[in-house]
Amino acid sequence: MTKLSVNVNKVATIRNARGGNMPNLIQVVKDCETYGADGITVHPRPDERHIRYKDVRDLKPVLSTEFNIEGNPQKSFVDLVCQNRPAQVTLVPDAHDAITSNSGWDTIKHASFLSEVIDEFQSKGIRVSIFVGTELEYIEGAKKVGADRIELYTEPYATDYPKDKENAVVPFVKAAQYAKSLGLGVNAGHDLSLDNLKWFSEHIPFLDEVSIGHALICEALYLGLEETIKRYKACLV
């Protein structure tokens, strides 16, 4: 069954808006695990506008599920990941001032850099996933640089889904099948929601993991965190 990793960046954003410790990030993470999350994802950025580097260090010893740390592998990020040794690191090519991740890696252009970083993470026993689009050459490039998995950037799917869900999922199915044929694991994330996740999951039944934050936290405002996680899990095959 596809695993659900809950991205808690938005929880940290709310906390940081007023200072203090409300909501309590550690407690929310524990609750997510209790309610059925298979993992927790964080994406610390250099400006620490949501998840802080300290949060990563505080979360590592209390998690009972898989820890996934996303980010652009600049030196401070690489050091943070190696010091805390999550189950998985997801490499994302976002600029320091990006509002959110908005593209995948060109794994051909950045092959040398990615290969070096991947070697360092894997030497610490950390599984490495690379954030990519549906371009087959970049998926092949992810294999060549030594990645264990890819994470498909699903914003184009989410954008096209309301207009034509049949065609929206096609390039992602092809990309996932190609990745699987190369021996890569397949994750997915970005703008997946209760509206569009089930269709995506049904068409890629061998999907290893989805990482979902923004939509899940927004939906939890109405449904409650426990019910929201339950509904997300029900969408996965």
3-state secondary structure of 5: strand
Find all residues with CB under 8 Å of 192, minimum gap 6, and list them: 154, 158, 200, 210, 212, 215
Which among 64, 60, 96, 58 has a CA at the least distance from the CA of 77?
96
- The one-digit pLDDT tens for each residue of the chain (237 residues) are 999 999 999 999 999 999 999 999 999 999 999 999 999 999 999 889 999 999 999 999 999 999 999 999 999 999 999 999 999 999 999 765 554 555 689 999 999 999 999 999 999 999 999 999 999 999 999 999 999 999 999 999 999 999 999 999 999 999 999 999 999 999 999 999 999 999 999 999 999 999 999 999 999 999 999 999 999 999 997
Which among 183, 181, 215, 182 has a CA at the least distance from the CA of 197?
215
Active site amino acids: 43, 70, 190
Residue appearing with tokens 């371009």? 135
3-state secondary structure of 107: coil
CATH code for position 195: 3.20.20.70
211: enclosing H helix or E strand = strand 209-212
**DSSP per position, 48-79:** -SSS-HHHHHHHGGG--SEEEEEE---HHHHH
Whether the CB-CB separation of 87 and 59 falls below 8 Å is answered with: no
Find all residues with CB under 8 Å of 60, minimum gap 6, and list them: 67, 84, 85, 86
Boundaries of domain holding 125: 3-235
- Residue 101 has a pLDDT of 53
* CA separation, residue 225 to residues 7, 20, 23, 100, 199 (Å): 13, 22, 13, 23, 22
Give the number of other Cβ atoms within 10 Å of residue 71's Cβ. Answer: 25
* CA separation, residue 216 to residues 13, 62, 174, 188, 212 (Å): 14, 22, 26, 15, 6
- Residue 102 has a pLDDT of 59
What's the domain count of the chain?
Answer: 1
